[in-house]
Structure 1
Amino acid sequence: MPDMRLFHSKNTKLEVDLRKFLFARGFRYRLHDKRLKGTPDLVFPKYKAVIFVHGCFWHAHENCSHASIPKTNTEFWLEKFAKNKERDEKAQKWLEDNGWRVLTLWECAIRKPEQFCFDELLDFVECWLVGGARSCEVSGRNEIPLLDLAIESGQLCMKVI
């Protein structure tokens, strides 16, 4: 069984880049607030919004090529992934039931540069925060442009993304 302490779940490159961008644009947030279910990566009390930055492998992203099941100790991994997914779903439900908006950014969203430009993704996140749109997720599987995703999620944003 792998030593899970060797894997880092906080301060991933995507998370750090996102934080730098948002801070530079004037957004203030809390990191990994344990008072909220699921310990969101970024918490924006002013906007009653949270952001989770999910690794496709660790959170068993469905139908994603980055979410394969290891060939060794398969039973352990299947059980672990099932528990992770269940925990994620419960956390999102609790947050939404308590008035929080949830944005889930999947790792594969930035691994497909032909589909997503990182600047567009950051602009989308900014618009989502200030626009008051409902909860949504962004992944490399989204087959629609971010502008359409923004409109679909009820987002009103003057910025062209």
Structure 2
Amino acid sequence: MPPTFHVPTHPGSTGEAVSRRMSTLRRKDNDAELAVRRLLHAAGYRYRVHYPIPGLPRRTIDIAFTRAKVAVFIDGCFWHGCPDHGTAPRSNAAWWEAKLSANRRRDSDTAAHLRDSGWTVLRIWEHEAPQTAAISITGALSGRTDILGKHPTDR
């Protein structure tokens, strides 16, 4: 059974404008993800999109190469705590800190689960150039670990 990550109940809306802005953010098929997928597809690679993770309900791999067992996650800087671009909201700061910490713990748990199942896990920040991401992915597919970027959840 996967661990659960408790996030305190949201203390209320942070404002109508913020709520509207947050509701327009794409959870999947966002610009960063699509740019990387286009490059991989153009290079002749075929993959599964939003592939369910066995044993972890409601979690998916953004780009999965099932035969090679390579899992690629394109992580948003805000939601996953990018050390360069991640920000901490001032309104409801305690709630947001708990929420973003739970996201990072879930990322680490997901990566560990996949690695234990024999997968290579790549986490790519949304701000990384799509070409650089594609090089890291194709390197992992060919077994080259020397060109892979590092992500804080990679341990």
TM-score (norm 1): 0.70
- Identity in percent: 30
Counterpart residue number, 1:77: 96
- CA displacement, residues 28-79 of structure 1 (integer Å, 9 cap, x when unaligned): 1111112344411001012110100001110112x32x11101111112111
- 8 Å contact from structure 2 (residues 39, 131) kept in 1: no
Amino acid at match of 2:27: S
Counterpart residue number, 1:11: 29
- CA displacement, residues 81-107 of structure 1 (integer Å, 9 cap, x when unaligned): 011011111100000000000011012
Amino acid at match of 2:60: T
Displacement after TM superposition at 1:133 (Å): 3.6
- 8 Å contact from structure 2 (residues 75, 125) kept in 1: yes
Counterpart residue number, 1:152: none
Counterpart residue number, 1:58: 79
Q: More relative contact order in 1 or in 2 (CA 8 Å, sep 6+)?
A: 2
Displacement after TM superposition at 1:129 (Å): 1.6
Amino acid at match of 1:19: R
Counterpart residue number, 1:34: 52
Q: How many residue pairs are counted as aligned between the two chains?
A: 130
Q: CA RMSD in A?
A: 2.4
Which runs of structure 2 are paired with 1:9-158 in the superposition (5 Å)? 9-36=27-54, 37=56, 38-61=59-82, 63-64=83-84, 66-110=85-129, 118-131=130-143, 133=145, 137-138=149-150
Helix, strand or coil: the match of 1:40?
Answer: strand
Q: How far apart are the structure 2 equivalents of 1:119 and 1:82?
A: 29
Q: Which runs of 5+ in 1 are unaligned?
A: 111-117, 142-161
Displacement after TM superposition at 1:137 (Å): 4.0
Q: Which runs of 5+ in 2 are unaligned?
A: 1-12
